[in-house]
Structure 1
Amino acid sequence: MRHGKKFNHLGRTASHRKAMLSNMAKSLLEHKRISTTLAKAKELRKYIEPLITKAKEDSTHNRRVAFGYLKNKEAIKLLFGEVVEKVGNRPGGYTRIIKTGYRLGDNAEMCIIELVDFNELMLKEEQPVKKAGRRRSRRGSGKGNESAGTGVATAETTEASESKSTEAEVVEEVSSETPESETPEAAASDEPKAGEEEDSGDKEDDKKSE
């Protein structure tokens, strides 16, 4: 009876399943990514990640334990050398599964399983883009703000006084250039009034008639 045995047997006997996972793990270490079915990839992830964790501590005992699973000297060299150098700082999650669709013949769900730190394209995408830094000026104390406000007010008052002085100078220049006779007051005094002209004309007529 299989009470409590919830792992996927993959339709194989125990010996066949162990040999298949060992072979797949060796291929993954060698090629860094392989294409397989989703069910096999999930079982392979549970098979190889504990071995990578053991490989972080390079000892004779850990090498013999890993060799008991992989059965290949070249795979052991890759595991304790190249792979650990890349993933040594990771606390786990050494593999990534990417689904690729369904197989044409039996419609099995396919995927790619790969070692995370060997995919250079995704590593470039994960790197944060540095934004152009903006320099922020420090805010001054209240006194500085008050002084800045008074400075603005004084500048406005000086501009207003300068504009008034220039207007006064223009008026003085115009008045000095125009002679007294041409001023509107003098012109008004020189023009004879309408009543006076009529009176003078009547007096001349009376003299002629006499």
Structure 2
Amino acid sequence: MAQRKLGRKSAPRKALLISLTNSLIKSERIETTEPKAKEVRSFAEKLITKAKKGTQHARRQVMGTLQDRDSVEILFDEIAPRFAERQGGYTRIIKVGPRRGDAAAMAILELVE
């Protein structure tokens, strides 16, 4: 499946996705542009699914991706148990209209309760 380029080469794009995912895990809600929200949703949902396994191997894989111990602990200790019975669809995107400066479509990405 092709992914959005978001106006960046692959390394800065990966860094952006990791950074936004870490922010989503820590605050459970972020406001960003719509295309970024759609990409982060896919990235984050895969990590949450992996975290639901709860194994040491899964924890190391997620740590290798996120590179942030605090985010990994929150993901495994708080978020994954909350979604134990859920088969996907851990996030929701709420469109909030255009940004004031450049009229970019904005959206709120949040974890579902």
* RMSD of equivalent CA atoms: 1.0
Amino acid of the structure 1 residue aligned with 2:84: G
| 3-state SS, counterpart of residue 35 of structure 2 | helix
Task: Kindly state the Cα deviation for residue 100 of structure 1 after the two structures are TM-superposed.
Answer: 0.3
Task: From the two aligned structures, give the one with the greater strand fraction.
Answer: 2
Task: Kindly state the Cα deviation for residue 57 of structure 1 after the two structures are TM-superposed.
Answer: 1.0
1:30 is aligned to 2:26: yes
* Distance in structure 2 (CA, Å) of the matches to 1:43 and 1:84: 20
Amino acid of the structure 2 residue aligned with 1:11: G
Higher RCO structure, 1 or 2 (CA under 8 Å, sep 6+): 2
Query: Which residue in the other structure is 2:54 paired with?
Result: 58
Query: Which residue in the other structure is 1:98 paired with?
Result: 94
* Distance in structure 2 (CA, Å) of the matches to 1:6 and 1:75: 27
1:158-197 map, 5 Å: none
| 3-state SS, counterpart of residue 52 of structure 1 | helix
1:1-210 map, 5 Å: 6-117=2-113
Task: Kindly state the Cα deviation for residue 103 of structure 1 after the two structures are TM-superposed.
Answer: 0.6
In percent, how many aligned pairs have the same letter? 46
Normalising by structure 2, what TM-score? 0.96
| 3-state SS, counterpart of residue 86 of structure 2 | coil
Amino acid of the structure 2 residue aligned with 1:88: A
Greater C-alpha radius of gyration? 1
Task: Kindly state the Cα deviation for residue 28 of structure 1 after the two structures are TM-superposed.
Answer: 0.4
Task: Kindly state the Cα deviation for residue 59 of structure 1 after the two structures are TM-superposed.
Answer: 1.1
| 3-state SS, counterpart of residue 56 of structure 1 | helix
| 3-state SS, counterpart of residue 100 of structure 1 | strand
Task: Kindly state the Cα deviation for residue 6 of structure 1 after the two structures are TM-superposed.
Answer: 3.0
Normalising by structure 1, what TM-score? 0.53
Task: Kindly state the Cα deviation for residue 88 of structure 1 after the two structures are TM-superposed.
Answer: 1.2
Structure 1 residues 23-69: Cα deviation after superposition (integer angstroms, max 9, x where no partner): 11111010010000000000001111011001111111101110111
Amino acid of the structure 1 residue aligned with 2:62: A
* Distance in structure 1 (CA, Å) of the matches to 2:43 and 2:93: 14
Q: Work out the number of aligned pairs and report it.
A: 113
Name stretches of at least 5 consecutive residues in structure 1 with no aligned partner: 118-210
* Distance in structure 1 (CA, Å) of the matches to 2:19 and 2:85: 26
